[in-house]
Structure 1
Amino acid sequence: MATTGKVRGSYAKTPARRREILEAGIDVFSAAGFRSGSIREIAERVGMSQAGLLHHFSNKSELLAAVLQLRDDRSAEVVPIDDAHAGIETIRGWVALMDYNATVPGLVELHCTLSAEATAVEHPAHQYFVDRYVFVVSRMKHAFERMRDAGQLVAGTDPEGAARAMVALSDGLQVQWLLDRSSVDMAAEMRRYVRGILTVDL
């Protein structure tokens, strides 16, 4: 029998439904925090059972990693990382992102908690974080290389070293901030570090 090639039933809605779940996940974790937010609340927001929700993911950890991936996709709107815009604007965007992160503590908590747990090779989100750090460091390195070639970096500054230091500082500041939000201004500390290796105004 010939077929039309169309996907029938609930499978036809899977990509859109998955996106809806992830959007709800960001809303829940942003508002309630990682510990207080729950799969049940996400499911309620999209009108599904918890079992139905998890049908779209292998397990809870995969769902949480997918929420973080969507957050990263949104971050790309703040931090220009494409070849056409890589450079000082990438670094300015990263600092602006630190300011934004201070408004979504639940997502910061999710990132810090899941990234620590995912250091275990068998963790479902392990590869996501491996790939994420490779990608982020490589794009930051590219931005610093562009800046070096434009004379915007202090002489002797290694682009890859600067990229890794920037990412490491970002992660460390987020942990310190989660422990005591009155003790550190993440964006201000990041700005202070970056200004120390630039020859131009940030």
Structure 2
Amino acid sequence: MAEGYLKGRIRREDIVTAAVGVYAEAGYHASSLREVARRAGITHAGLLYYFPAKEALLAAVLERRDAEDAEQLAAPPGLDALCRLIELAGHRADVYSRLAGEAVAADHPAHDYFERQYAAARRDAVDSFRVLAERGELREGVDPGYAGLNLVALMDGLRVQWLSNGAAVDLAGALRFYLQDLLTVPLD
């Protein structure tokens, strides 16, 4: 019994991994469950056993992202949290930027998910900039609210440029440059 359960979990993870690749290339709307199944090495019917709807597979992709990000972003507000966010932004530029762009439409199945993600990112960035201001590590006159909002906006804009021409955009480097310009202390 346990062996069957393990095989099912492995198969499910293989499907999610294949979906991440397909979504990175084509986005959600232009992707097909048949292509995901092909890349996962199973039949379309086999994929439907694990994910009976395209929306269920999208939810699993986003759940995986949340699980991976939670571990990476686990830091109290402050400079370390902002540095972790910048590091993570460079690793997530492909599939999630494409999905976030599509999810601007209110009828997209991930629209509410990305609204919550953006709200949390802004809140966390603002909280970190407030901590930096309290510690005297933020330049005088820098508003933590705008600094947090601008960091998230800059991150998204750079991701879009990276999607167009990744070789021309040092996403993490540009974000570190922005952050350093706001600080009274050096970034490590």
Match of 1:87 among 59, 78, 84: 78
Q: 1:185/1:145 Cα in 2 relative to 1: closer, same or farther (>3 Å)?
A: same
- Mean Cα deviation higher: 183-192 or 151-160: 151-160
Counterpart contact for 1:91–1:143, Cα < 8 Å: yes
Greater helix content: 2
Aligned to 1:115: 100
Match of 2:25 among 14, 20, 34: 34
What is the one-letter code of the residue matched to 2:16? L
- Mean Cα deviation higher: 173-182 or 153-162: 153-162
**Aligned-partner Cα distance in 1 for 2:70–2:54:** 25
Unaligned runs of 5+ in 1: 1-9, 102-107
Cα offset for 1:151? 1.4
Cα offset for 1:119? 1.7
Where does 1:142-157 land on structure 2 (aligned, <5 Å)? 142-157=127-142
What is the one-letter code of the residue matched to 1:96? E
1:126 aligns with 2:111: yes
Count how many residue pairs are aligned between Structure 1 and Structure 2: 181
Unaligned runs of 5+ in 2: none
What is the one-letter code of the residue matched to 1:144? F
Aligned to 1:59: 53
Cα offset for 1:188? 1.0
What is the one-letter code of the residue matched to 1:67? V
**Aligned-partner Cα distance in 2 for 1:157–1:70:** 35
Give TM-score scaled by structure 1 length.
0.72
SS across alignment from 1:199: coil
Give TM-score scaled by structure 2 length.
0.77
**Aligned-partner Cα distance in 1 for 2:166–2:39:** 29
**Aligned-partner Cα distance in 1 for 2:43–2:169:** 40
Aligned to 2:91: 100
Q: 1:165/1:69 Cα in 2 relative to 1: closer, same or farther (>3 Å)?
A: farther
Aligned to 1:136: 121
Q: 1:60/1:194 Cα in 2 relative to 1: closer, same or farther (>3 Å)?
A: same
